[in-house]
Amino acid sequence: MRGMVVAAQPEATEAGVEMLRQGGNAVDAAIACAFSQGVVDPQMCGIGGFGAMQICMPKRGVHTVLEFFARAPLSATPEMWADKFIGQSRDGFVFLLKDQSNDIGYGSVGTPGNVAGYTEALSRFGTMPLRPVMRPAIEQARRGVMVRPYMHYYWAIDHGGDGQVNVEDKLRFSETGRQVYFRANGTLKRPGDVLHNPDMKHTLERIAEGGAETFYRGEIARAIAADMAAQGGGITLEDLAAYRVREKAPCWGVYRGLRVASNPPPAGGGSLIELLHILGQFDLAALEHNGPEHLRVLAEAMKWMTIDKDAHMGDPDFVDVPLDRLLSSEHAAALAARIRAGEKASVPRAGEPKDPPDTTVVCVVDAEGNAVSLTHTLGIPSGVITPGLGFMYNGCMSGFDPRPGRAASIAPGKSRGSAMAPTMLFEDAAPCMVLGAPGGTYIVPALAQAISNVVDFGMSMAEAIAAPRIVALSDTIDVANRIPHGVTQALTEMGYPVARSYQSYAFGAPHGLLIRGGHCTGGADPQRDGMAMAA
């Protein structure tokens, strides 16, 4: 096995494979891929964003989680927006202010973490210098980037009456955005058009030369801070200089005898393991795949996971998370007994959740058996591009609750929690599955179904990821459009409200690698534009 990369963008996958072919390891490949993703999918992620990754290097005895979430400015206060609060978006993803200042513009930006995360991972666990790892991203920025179907789909989403700012308006917010993302006649570029962003190329070259130091304490930091000060943003030189990556141990569970490692709270790995533990109480392989009883069990397990997540899964720096109890076999057995008895869990919601589409992933396995799963994002794009720098900043401040005294309330330097769940499954000491997904609250259900499809139903990774999915994060079961109508009719007759998505590939977008007998295969969710590629 020479290694494999899977990512949601073909150009980024190729960048990762290039590192493996040059003799780099999985971390070198993942970071090359990550920098490239910020060029070829600049509203999904980038050097103005944040993320988390899981790294496993069995021969070195390394297995760790790096967290580099965006932080609220040090000048932020819990009550700074209390008088502007008007509610939440229907999916609960964004808190709404009267003036939308946390959704678009300089007030929406948190201190970025990706450059710190990428460079720390590379320096500690990679084998290649920063410059050659960044070369594919710089070359892509030099050549220009062709607009792909999913990029345009995301730009063109109409948020209608949900209170959020449309992405197209964010692309118009800055002078750079108007030059890069629009045609000469002022209309949004379309699939097949090419984006040219020389400022981004220049910024990447400066990072390749000066590393994270130039971004957080040097020339780029000074440009960021000056622009923020001039436009009323909160990020200062002090914010940038104070940024540090957090390192944590993975949290662990078991599914059908395979050990499961994922990212601990405030990330979504604990919820994923709880959901797998509940599903592990049922003989799913004996059920018709995506038949009425299979979907009933899936839906009820998801609802119980969601009830626990809403009640307990906060930032452990601020909330007491009873993780041992939630992941215990006794807790899973008790919930499974209620599902077997036909009890319907209730998860009231003001509105049906949507699929937050603004995140991306990369998974890598190399010839030495090293594995990386990385999820990174802008949260939502802010629209802000500092003149001369080329990259768009995150909009993470929209994820903080403007009401003081709550677990998600604003606090200086605070990280916003995330559903990100870079995940690995182990057979003995070596990873046998490496997965990740974008999709906000849909990440955990999407990954659980992909894992079950492989383990319980014997699917390949490509089949498991492409199979139709459901989610049940409220009292309604949401189904992809490829779930047969006869199945949804049976669920309706059981008393379940069912909502059918217009999308064939709905609810998150898992990407994954499967290692069997020294051979690696992969799958990229067809909802996005990506691919798996062997080195």
List, by residue number, the catalytic residues. 359
Residue 510 and residue 362: Cα distance in Å, rounded? Answer: 10
Q: Which residues on neighbouring strands pair with residue 57, listed in sequence order?
A: 62
Residue 41 and residue 530: Cα distance in Å, rounded? Answer: 11
CB atoms within 10 A of CB 114: 29
For 351, which DSSP code? S
Tokens of 387: 């003149």
Q: How far is CA 223 from CA 173, 235, 385, 387, 469, in A?
A: 18, 11, 11, 9, 45
Tokens of 263: 């990212």
- Name every residue whose Cβ is closer than 8 Å to that of residue 16 and which is 6 or more positions away in sequence: 5, 7, 29, 30, 32, 33, 36, 362, 364, 533
Tokens of 495: 């008393």
- Name every residue whose Cβ is closer than 8 Å to that of residue 5 and which is 6 or more positions away in sequence: 13, 16, 17, 20, 29, 30, 33, 362, 363, 364, 522, 532, 533, 535
Nearest Cα to Cα of residue 267 among 483, 453, 52:
52
Nearest Cα to Cα of residue 417 among 435, 403, 432, 401:
401
Q: How far is CA 514 from CA 286, 463, 520, in A?
A: 23, 11, 6
Q: In what order do the strands lie in the sheet with 430-436?
A: 251-255, 258-262, 423-427, 430-436, 511-516, 519-524
Q: What H or E segment, with its residue span, contains residue 34?
A: helix 26-40
Residue 460 and residue 242: Cα distance in Å, rounded? Answer: 45
Residue 149 and residue 59: Cα distance in Å, rounded? Answer: 40
Q: Which residues on neighbouring strands pair with residue 372, listed in sequence order?
A: 55, 364
Single-letter code of the amino acid located at 141: A
Nearest Cα to Cα of residue 125 among 247, 208, 270:
247
Asked if 148 and 189 count as a contact pair (C-beta separation under 8 A), the reply is no
For 111, which DSSP code? B
